[in-house]
Amino acid sequence: MARILTLLLFLFLATSLQASAPPAPPKVEASGYLLMDYHSAAVLAEENGDKRLEPASLTKIMTAYVVFKELEAGNISLQDQVLVSKKAWKTPGSRMFIEVGKKVSVEDLLRGMIIVSGNDACVALAEHIAGSEESFVSLMNKYALELGMENTHFVNTTGLPHPDHYTTPADILKVTRALIQEFPQYYPIYSERQFTFNGITQKNRNRLLWRDPSVDGVKTGHTKSAGYCLVASAKREGMRLLSVVMGTKSEQARADESQKLLNYGFRFYQTHRLFAADQPLKQVRVWKGDQEQLSLGLEEDLHITIPRGEYERLKLRARVHPQITAPVRRGEEMGRLVVELDDEVLADVPLVALENVGEGGLIHNLVDSLLQIFE
């Protein structure tokens, strides 16, 4: 009897020490969807994440990204006055109601594109930057490739239907994440609830901005063929989640399905910044150098997204190259840092030199050569 009780106690303890997996994600009524942590890029829920779908006005996330790149490069400014062409004025679909032959600032056009999804604003900005919408689209596709959006191709700046105009849930979140990372000074525009231009006030179509105070973006989209789409971004207690739903049946549905995903992610997961970039994590011996110790660390902050309550179960392993010999350049890979949870590798990132180490003197190097023999 005692042996049976001991066995039962052992089984109970073993079970209690096992990780408690989060429940399955909620059912989402969409052609494709994806939920991602912004900092770690961990995917928390997904269906048809790599399926090519029509993005409708989600396209304008990339359009804005290109405009922000041009602002960053100094090629244009927010104060630039853009002469509205007939083509921009006549562009069908949603609009901010610019008028042909009049001048509008880049700043107003940006708000018209981001907040009220003006197709006319997209074309006006494209023509100002690249001379024509077609030339601007080539920049969009160039940046898409640089961001690893391998299943994306743009034909226009607006998202109007075209058989060769497509993206995927995974790809559209790549440019969304890059936009937030690279352009924090412009990202707050996505949280503005309305925009007034030419005496006309229009509301942001992202219903989550009114419903959920943690939501601060990003973009809606709709055409008859694409259905109703929404990329949402929300931040709670320092954790930011990005979600995308594509091909839902209504404005209400895209908001409801997005809210499901966000609530699920925040309820069952946590993101931890384990280490900061350039933080010394390990000291190692350097042979034949002008100093004997070298600090190793990471080039970028390391964030890990895990089920809630599992932080203490993380395991870290540092694998350092044997017998590091000078010279060493700052940023040179010296090993790997591996983070695991229950034998699942969550991260495998380079450990790099945080400083330069030059070559030592002749006598020092001779001594080190002898010592290395016995190392």
pLDDT value of position 9: 34
pLDDT value of position 16: 41
pLDDT value of position 375: 60
CA distance 136 to 127: 7
**Per-residue pLDDT for 10 more than 60?**
no
- Output the six-digit token pair for 24: 């399955």
Tens digits of per-residue pLDDT, 138-181? 999 999 999 999 999 999 999 999 999 999 999 999 999 999 99
Which is catalytic among the residues 40, 60, 233, 260? 60
Which is catalytic among the residues 85, 94, 117, 233? 117
Fold of 32-269: Beta-lactamase (3.40.710)
Reply yes or no on whether 57 is catalytic. yes
Written as one letter, the residue type at 156 is N
Global pTM?
0.89
Class of residue 146 by CB neighbours under 10 A (exposed 0-12, middle 13-18, buried 19+): exposed
Mean pLDDT over each residue of the chain, to the nearest integer:
92
Task: List the beta bridge partners of residue 173.
Answer: none
Each domain of the chain, given as residue ranges in start order, spans 32-269, 276-373
Alpha-carbon distances, residue 102 vs 67, 117, 126, 157 (angstroms): 21, 20, 16, 21
Among all chains, which residue has been given the structure tokens 């034998």? 343
Instruction: Give the sheet arrangement for strand 293-297, strand by strand.
Output: 315-320, 333-341, 344-353, 293-297, 282-287, 324-325
Q: Residues with Cβ < 8 Å from 181, sequence gap 6 or more?
A: none
pLDDT value of position 68: 98
**3-state DSSP of the chain:** CHHHHHHHHHHHHHHHHCCCCCCCCCCCCCCEEEEEECCCCCEEEEECCCCCECCHHHHHHHHHHHHHHHHHHCCCCCCCEEECCHHHHHCCCCCCCCCCCCEEEHHHHHHHHHCCCCHHHHHHHHHHHHCCHHHHHHHHHHHHHHCCCCCCECCCCCCCCCCCCEECHHHHHHHHHHHHHHCCCCHHHHHCCEEEECCEEEECCCCHHHHCCCEEEEEEEEECCCEEEEEEEEEECCEEEEEEEEEECCHHHHHHHHHHHHHHHHHHEEEEEEECCCCCCEEEEEECECCCEEEEECCCCEEEEEECCCHHHCEEEEEECCCEECCECCCCEEEEEEEEECCEEEEEEEEEECCCECECCHHHHHHHHHHHHCC
pLDDT value of position 6: 37
Asked if the bond preceding 137 is cis, omega within 30° of 0, the reply is no
**Per-residue pLDDT for 11 more than 60?**
no
- Output the six-digit token pair for 177: 């994440």
Of the candidates 89, 143, 79, 99, the one whose C-alpha atom is nearest the C-alpha of residue 119 is: 89
Architecture of domain 276-373: Sandwich (2.60)
Of the candidates 314, 320, 354, the one whose C-alpha atom is nearest the C-alpha of residue 337 is: 320
pLDDT value of position 139: 98
pLDDT value of position 361: 55
Instruction: Give the model's confidence band at 57: pLDDT under 50 very low, under 70 low, under 90 confident, else very high.
Output: very high
